[in-house]
Structure 1
Amino acid sequence: MVKLPLSAEQQTALRARLGEPALRRDGLSSEQARRMAAETGAPLRGVEWFALSMGVVPHRYSRSIGTVGAEGQMKLLESRVLVVGLGGLGGHVAEMLARSGVGRVAGCDADVVEENNLNRQTFSTLASLGEPKTQAARRRLAEVNPAVEFEGFTCGFQDIPEEVLSACDLLFDCLDSVPARLELETRCASVGRPLIHGAIGGWYGQVGVVWPGSNLLSRICGQGGRGIERELGNPSFTPAVAAGLMVSRGIRVLLGLVQPGRASLQVFDLLNDEWETLEL
């Protein structure tokens, strides 16, 4: 059953083009996929999904298939996520999701790119200074994977309508204040959506899956203000490590590879190379 919006005519046209033996043998290049999308009027994401359904692997996912499988890659292309905060953590998270082929990625951030972002934030460059982070994210993700459909919200997550949250399969907490994290946890619980939490400060970080109703963040964060990164700093490497852990957990949730409701938190110390998983 086709789970992406492809008309009967588009499916027929794609089936004819993708049925060539050479494509099954050699896979589908990005240029071939773009050409098929242009010729059939199908979204690029739909072309990739339909190719996988016929046993044709797009080149861009060929190194991922051994990990997630063709059906898993199709599931990722069907998925929709929201990254709340597009700074040090969120930029890495959004780009990893796009490279992984998560089909619809929304990003929320009210800020613009500033010079003090240049040491760590994926979307920050000298050319993007002063630009809304959502706009910088849109351009970067289109360069990385044009099949990914990006939707930007240049506002606080509090202003995002509930129907947008409920339409997502998964959300990512890349915020930098405790009250905002707790409010996001509450909103996710109200729409029954899991949340991947991540936080860093200096050499240290933590990552966990917040299942609806678990109140994981309420139990570990207290009621403080800004995160500890204000005191310990934000180097380039710690957000990248935490983002990788967040995305790996997010992919597992999207693919149904984790037990729902199991509350745990992984904490790491890169200075002393210490890692610990806390069962909560």
Structure 2
Amino acid sequence: MTDNWLERTELLLGAEKLEKLRAAHVLVVGLGGVGAYAAEMIVRAGVGRMTVADADTVNPTNINRQLVALHSTVGRPKAEVLAERLRDINPTLELHVVDKYIKDEETDLLLDSARFDYAVDAIDTLSPKLALILGALKRGIPPGQ
């Protein structure tokens, strides 16, 4: 596959900045109503490496608002469904899927598992959200929410 699908992004940002995107590794934790959309848009922008984390499964009540939620995906892990979608957008994407709830010691293990350039917090529970933000800041990873 050629990178012609990114030609509009290159026109907008320029070749140098597109290369920075291709080299970047983004962490997205929480793949529900915010995280899945964020992950998809980041991949569509041209990011070359991504780690996505969530242990939840698609529930029928998610269908009204979540990208991964379809009648055909109910009961499947959100991380798995999103991974298929992201790889279909960019087959050369280096994608790491973490099918776990990120809380307590898992936060440090995840943040230390790779060199992340940016972390997207889309967690809907306060204590893991705080742990991710503080852990990212401690490591110099810019957090986004």
Structures share fold, TM-score greater than 0.5: yes
What are structure 1's unaligned runs of at least 5 residues? 1-29, 34-57, 198-280
Query: What number of residue pairs does the alignment pair up?
Result: 141
* Aligned mates of 2:97, 2:71 — CA distance in 1: 21
What displacement does 1:106 show?
0.8
Question: CA-atom RMSD, angstroms?
Answer: 1.4
Describe how 1:1-280 pairs up with structure 2 within 5 A: 30=1, 33=2, 58-158=3-103, 159-160=106-107, 161=109, 162-164=111-113, 167-197=115-145
Helix, strand or coil for the counterpart of 2:91?
A: coil
* Aligned mates of 2:51, 2:60 — CA distance in 1: 24
Q: Which amino acid aligns with 2:135?
A: R
TM-score (normalizing by structure 2): 0.90
Higher-Rg structure is: 1
What displacement does 1:66 show?
2.3
Identity of aligned residues (%): 33
Relative contact order (alpha carbons < 8 A, sep ≥ 6): 1 or 2 greater? 2
CA offsets, 1:102-137, max 9 Å, x none? 001111101001111111111111111111111001
What are structure 2's unaligned runs of at least 5 residues? none
CA offsets, 1:174-197, max 9 Å, x none? 111222221111111222211001
* Aligned mates of 1:113, 1:151 — CA distance in 2: 19
What displacement does 1:72 show?
0.7
CA offsets, 1:217-240, max 9 Å, x none? xxxxxxxxxxxxxxxxxxxxxxxx
Moved over 6 A (4+): none
